[in-house]
A and B are shown apart, each in its own frame.
Chain A
């Protein structure tokens, strides 16, 4: 996007670049460096190193998941509450690969993502025959269908679950490889989100979210766009699931299929700013942070769900555009958050 000349004879930026590109680059480098160096920096600083690593991993996991969800839920505007399915597929496919063939989930990662994406594609073909509220219901039905199936499938251990072998690694650094694997997933997810946002595909998705009929009339093959968006949104949720499952060493369907999972993915994208690239990232970091603080205050109680629900309701009523969206609307979005 070229910047319009403000005054005759002067051009503020290099033609073709958005203002603030430099500060965004800097922010990106800092952020990436932080992610990679964090385990090293944190070791001498924090006493409860394992706990800190766990939080880090969780933040990266939710970044991965909410950014992915954002592709269908934010860009295309189709709210899916069933994305836990892909989380489960990732977790279980990697877990099974480990349990039966001894392949490390860290190596299996890309395949776990593919498995999730494959299922996403097929499920998308069916669920995306509906729109709006019926679509939301269809994704919920999808979630429950898979939950029931997994709960009753002896091969994967049914509702009691599947045990996975432990990772052979020095105990005090045990979380570190999971952290880095999750970081890969998160970076992949955000990068995918960025590329989609800046592509013709992404433009088409946005058109669909604004007015699907007009998008169709404009020549966009809405059906394929939506199905591909759905499928793509599954990939890095699958990879996240694979890493997370491994970190738990015991897989149970309910861990992945819990509605709370969908709730948090959605909440993070909304709080941060649905339909933006930076939004879900911000939302994920915030919500995980708030959650941890509240757990330390109130313990892992039901108050947690109440707070999640309250934040969601408040956000919808008062900040529907999320942080990034609201800042952008008010014209005060700092460049390092503006990745759209």
Chain B
């Protein structure tokens, strides 16, 4: 395969990772929460998409319309139920990590209980075809998923830049207490950010459902990857998450091509460790301690 082909495949995958990672880094930026359950919720959306496909033959891309609002509401409710309690805690960061860890376990258990550990996937017609542009082949499923991901990312960017809520979110990400001082209701913003992050997870779940087979314990591999991505890009930086995702996906695409597919996840972790040695705050992270 020529390098352009590999590059394109990497970019497609990178776009999807970028969308997944941006939800995660948004959460961290606004609330200083490392959501270890993010990938577990992505899986919830995948399973919902699967159920809708199997019972109603609903195209997974259309289920986005269902999974995104559903996950958004779930996110807001979960936030309000669990997090305000911990706000005053001196050990906030650790507590929230462990909390989301517990959530991930609960979600995984419930998914296994409901759907068992069998590999599932959603197989619409386009799942097995490929699109050809010039010399480049692109699996249709990845092309669709990447396009939707990029669209969502652009949408997120627009919301953050041009809406009042988006501005409030950005302000909170930059300096939480300053945002409070100018009148931002940071609790509301946090709940919204959690909702948006979960909505993005919902979209990711629906898209992933027809790209890779999934089973409940799979989320650990995803979360490890996404976390590596956001630390690499700089925690709390959406720009960093996107660039980090694209870079790493392309890099791992090349690695996979040269050394075999088992090596591609290693690319992510090795790169992370390398970056930690040279620049612990990541590409775009703040130099200040986290």
Contact = CB atoms under 8 A, between A and B. Distances in A.
A306 B110 contact: yes
Interface string A283-306: 000000000000000000111111
B231 A316 contact: no
B270 A316 contact: no
B104 A309 contact: yes
A279 interface: no
A302 B228 CA distance: 27
B91 interface: yes
A318 to B, nearest CB: 9
Interface in B97-148: 97-99, 101-110, 112-113
A263 B280 contact: no
Given A130-B276, A309-B106, A316-B95, A303 B113 contact: yes
Q: Is the interface of A mostly helix, strand, loop or mixed?
A: helix
B102 A134 contact: no
B231 A130 contact: yes
B94 A77 contact: yes
B28 A126 contact: no
A133 B34 contact: yes
Nearest to A312: B102
Contact of B105 (A143, A270, A308): A308
Contacts of B34: 133, 136-137
B277 A132 contact: no
A312 B95 contact: no
Contact of A266 (B101, B103, B262, B276): B101
Interface string B77-101: 0000010011001010111011101
Interface stretch (B3-11, B185-193, B219-227, B241-249): B219-227
B265 interface: yes
Nearest to B100: A313
Contacts of B266: 145, 148-149
B224 A140 contact: yes
A127 interface: yes
Interface in A67-94: 77, 79, 81
A309 B290 contact: no
B273 A303 contact: no
Contacts of A143: 224
A133 B108 contact: no
A116 B91 CA distance: 29
Interface residues of B, number: 51
A18 interface: no
Contact of A133 (B101, B107, B290): B290
A145 B268 CA distance: 9
A131 interface: yes
B235 interface: yes
Interface in B64-85: 82, 85
Nearest to B236: A133
Contacts of A151: 262
B32 interface: yes
Contacts of A141: 224, 227-228, 231, 268-269, 272-273
A306 B105 contact: yes
Interface string B250-290: 00000000000010011011101100110011100000011
Contacts of A149: 266
Contact of B101 (A127, A148, A312): A312
**Which of the listed residues B105, B221, B273 has the most CB atoms from chain A within 10 Å of its own CB?**
B105
Contact of B102 (A77, A81, A137, A313): A313
Contacts of B277: 126, 129
Interface string A218-258: 00000000000000000000000000000000000000000
Interface string A9-22: 00000000000000
A316 B105 CA distance: 14
A132 to B, nearest CB: 4
Contact of B235 (A134, A148, A303, A310): A134
B290 A263 contact: no
A335 interface: no
Given A131-B289, A141-B228, A309-B106, A302 B276 contact: no
B86 A144 contact: no
Given A127-B276, A132-B289, A312 B231 contact: no
A302 B290 contact: no
B22 to A, nearest CB: 16
A1 to B, nearest CB: 24
A26 B94 CA distance: 36
Contacts of B95: 316, 320
B283 to A, nearest CB: 13
18 contacts: A129-B280, A132-B93, A132-B290, A134-B280, A137-B227, A148-B262, A148-B266, A149-B266, A266-B98, A306-B110, A309-B102, A309-B108, A309-B109, A313-B102, A313-B106, A316-B95, A317-B99, A320-B91
Interface of B: 28, 32, 34, 82, 85-86, 89, 91, 93-95, 97-99, 101-110, 112-113, 216, 220-221, 223-224, 227-228, 230-231, 235, 262, 265-266, 268-270, 272-273, 276-277, 280-282, 289-290
Given A79-B97, A141-B224, A308-B105, 7 more contacts: A131-B290, A137-B272, A145-B266, A302-B216, A309-B105, A309-B107, A320-B91
